[in-house]
Each structure stands twice: as structure tokens, then as C-alpha cells.
Amino acid sequence: MVNRGERKRGGAKAATLKLRRILVPLDFSGKSRQALDFAVPLAKQYGGKVFLLHVVEPPYVYPYHPGEIGVAAVDPRPIAEASKKKLSALARELVPPDVLGKTMVRTGRAYLEIVDAADELGADLIALSTHGHTGLKHVLLGSTAEHVVRHARRPVLTVRRH
């Protein structure tokens, strides 16, 4: 967040950047980890913390016949428990202890859970990679990063590397 603190010459205020809470959503892919390459140094520079989030999107069974409703095919709780362990291990490996805030695992639509988690944390920044769906799947579903940028009420840093 930018705060208008100290005054410059001529009475204009100089902007100061505060990055105390940086939310980094991860899906455990190498591409999603690239956002940490930016988030960790920013947190160190500004005396902030990095909060890691993984979202479990429950798989759904789609109906064979028109008019039927899709139902969750798998109980997401065991997946969420396994994800918590994996995210904790990843945090220990990639984020220095003095910079790590906490790790969180949520269940639901990824972009909605990311936006809600950022609001609940009072995050100053969401940092995420832009990898994801390509081709027809991208056209039909869009990307999580695009949805986060559109719906977030917090600043978003998108990281794109090849």
C-alpha cells in the first residue's frame, strides 16, 4: 500500500510503500514458485512477511444427461490435509523463517479464495505467476491470475517467466 507520509520540497508528500503482508498463492508447480522470487526479496526489503496459500479445487462429475446437476466426486478434505503438509515443507525450503508469515490451505474456486484470503489478511500485495491454461482451455476457463487481477481489492503483482 502506498501511504502519503513525509513531505517533499514545495509541500508535496512523498509516497512510502509498505509491504508488510504479501500473499503468494501456489499450486506446487515450478511456475507458481516464480512469484516467490519477487515476494521474498520484497518482504525482506520492507520488513514484511510472506503468506503462502494453496487452494484445493474439488473435482466435479458432470452429468451425462441435460438437466442433471454436477456433483463433487471426491471429498476434498484428504487432499487439503496432504496439501497442508506439502505447503509447510515447501515454505521451509523456499522462504526464510524470518520472512515467513503463515501457510494456508483453502478449498473452493482458486481466484475467489485468493481474493478472500488477501482481504482477510489485510494483504498489502498479492504476488502470483501468470502460468496456467493455454489454448481452448484458456478460452473456456480463463486463467486464475486474470480472475484475481479483475476481482482483487488489493494490488496484484503478476510474474511471467518462460
Every domain of the chain and the residues it spans = 20-159
Better pLDDT: 39 or 68 = 39
Q: Is the pTM of this model over 0.85?
A: no
Q: Give the residue, 6 or 147, on which the prediction is more confident.
A: 147
Quick check: 85 pLDDT over 50? yes
Q: Rounded to whole angstroms, how far apart are CA atoms 56 and 53?
A: 10
Task: Show contacts of 2-10: CB within 8 Å, 24+ apart.
Answer: none
CA atoms within 13 A on the CB side of 100: 16
In which band, very low, low, confident or very high, does the pLDDT at 74 lie, cut at 50, 70 and 90?
A: confident
- For the structural domain made of 20-159, what CATH number should be given? 3.40.50.620
Mean pLDDT over 56-62 rounds to 73
Q: What is the pLDDT, as a whole number, of residue 141?
A: 45
Tens-place pLDDT, residues 121-137 = 999 999 998 875 455 44
How is residue 8 annotated by DSSP?
-
Highest mean pLDDT among 55-59, 61-65, 141-145: 55-59
Mean pLDDT, all residues of the chain: 83
pLDDT at 62: 58
* pLDDT tens per residue across span 17-58: 789 999 999 998 888 899 999 999 999 999 999 999 999 987
Could you give the CA distance from residue 49 to residue 23 in angstroms, rounded to a whole number? 9
